[in-house]
C-alpha cells in the first residue's frame, strides 16, 4: 500500500465535492451512504465512518479492482464489494449510494417504482427494488446488481438507493433525479393511483428526444436572407 496524496488526487477531490453536494441536497445524512469513481483499474471511494456532508479528499481511499488499498490511510466503505461489483459487471465510471429519504421510504412499500414521468427514462424506465439483505454482504451486492440490469438506478429494500453512470457528475444527477421522481410518486399516490407511461408512450418519448436532441442547448439559427 502507498499513501501518495497524488494518487487520483483530482478524483478524490471530486468524490468529496460530490458528497458535500449530495449532503446539501438532503440525500446523505451522517455517515450513511458512499460514493466512488473509477479511473481504469483504480477506484476512489469514500472511507467508512466519514461524515459525508463534510467529506475531505483525505477521507477518500483509493483501491484496486480487487479491493486492495493502494492510497489513503482510512478503510474504505463497508459497501466496497457492491461498488466493485457494479464496475465489474457494468463497466461504469461512478457509483452513488444514498439513504435518501423519499427513495428509502418507497423502498419500504414498493417492488418497483413505475415509469410515471418520462424523465425516468434517463434511468432506464421502471426502477426495480432489490430485495433486502444485510448491508456490506455479498447477498446485498448480488441483489442490487441484478436489479440494475438494463438500468442506471435501483432502490434497495428497507435501505436506500444506488445510481451509476459513466461520470461522477452524471451519477450524482441520476441520484437527484431518482429522489425527485420518488417524491413525485409519493405525492401522487397520496392523491390517488398514479398513471403509468406504457411502452408505447415511452417509445414516443425516446423517439422525440432523439429527433430534437433533447437535453442539449442549441444556438438560434441565423435569419434567412430576405426575412430581416
CA 13 to centroid of chain Cα atoms: 18
Look at residues 85, 100, 83, 110 and name the one whose alpha carbon lies nearest to residue 168: 83
CA dist 81 and 150 (Å) reads 20
- 207 flagged as catalytic: no
Residues in the chain: 228
b/e code 158-179 from CB counts within 10 Å (16+ = b)? ebbbbbbbeebbbbbebbbbbb
Q: C-alpha grid cell for residue 202? A: 415511452
How close are the terminal C-alpha atoms of the chain, in Å? 68
- Whole-angstrom distance, CA of residue 157 vs CA of residue 79: 15
Long-range pairs for 147-150 at CB < 8 Å and ≥24 separation?
148/86, 148/89, 148/90, 150/124
- Which one is catalytic: 11, 25, 40, 79? 79
DSSP string, 182-201: HHHHHHHHHHS------HHH
Backbone angles phi and psi of 47, in degrees to 5: -80, 150
The set of catalytic residues is 79
Amino acid at each position: 500500500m502507498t499513501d501518495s496524496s497524488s494518487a487520483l488526487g483530482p478524483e478524490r477531490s471530486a468524490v468529496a465535492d460530490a458528497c458535500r453536494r449530495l449532503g446539501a441536497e438532503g440525500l446523505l445524512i451522517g455517515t450513511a451512504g458512499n460514493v466512488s469513481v473509477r479511473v481504469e483499474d483504480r477506484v476512489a471511494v469514500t472511507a467508512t465512518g466519514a461524515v459525508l456532508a463534510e467529506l475531505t479528499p483525505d477521507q477518500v481511499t483509493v483501491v484496486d479492482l480487487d479491493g486492495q488499498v493502494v492510497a489513503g490511510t482510512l478503510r474504505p466503505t463497508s459497501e466496497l464489494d457492491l461498488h466493485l461489483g457494479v464496475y465489474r459487471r457494468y463497466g461504469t465510471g461512478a457509483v452513488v449510494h444514498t439513504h435518501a429519504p423519499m427513495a428509502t421510504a418507497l423502498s419500504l412499500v414498493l417492488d418497483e417504482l413505475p415509469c410515471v414521468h418520462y424523465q425516468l427514462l434517463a434511468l432506464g424506465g421502471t426502477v426495480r427494488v432489490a430485495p433486502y439483505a444485510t448491508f456490506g454482504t455479498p447477498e446485498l451486492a448480488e441483489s442490487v446488481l441484478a436489479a440494475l440490469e438494463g438500468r442506471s438506478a435501483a432502490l434497495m429494500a428497507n435501505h436506500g438507493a444506488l445510481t451509476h453512470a459513466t461520470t461522477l457528475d452524471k451519477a450524482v444527477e441520476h441520484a437527484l433525479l431518482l429522489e425527485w421522481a420518488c417524491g413525485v410518486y409519493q405525492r401522487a399516490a397520496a392523491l390517488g393511483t398514479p398513471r403509468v407511461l406504457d411502452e408505447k408512450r415511452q417509445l414516443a418519448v425516446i423517439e422525440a428526444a432523439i429527433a430534437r436532441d433533447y437535453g442539449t442547448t442549441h444556438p438560434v439559427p441565423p435569419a434567412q436572407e430576405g426575412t430581416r
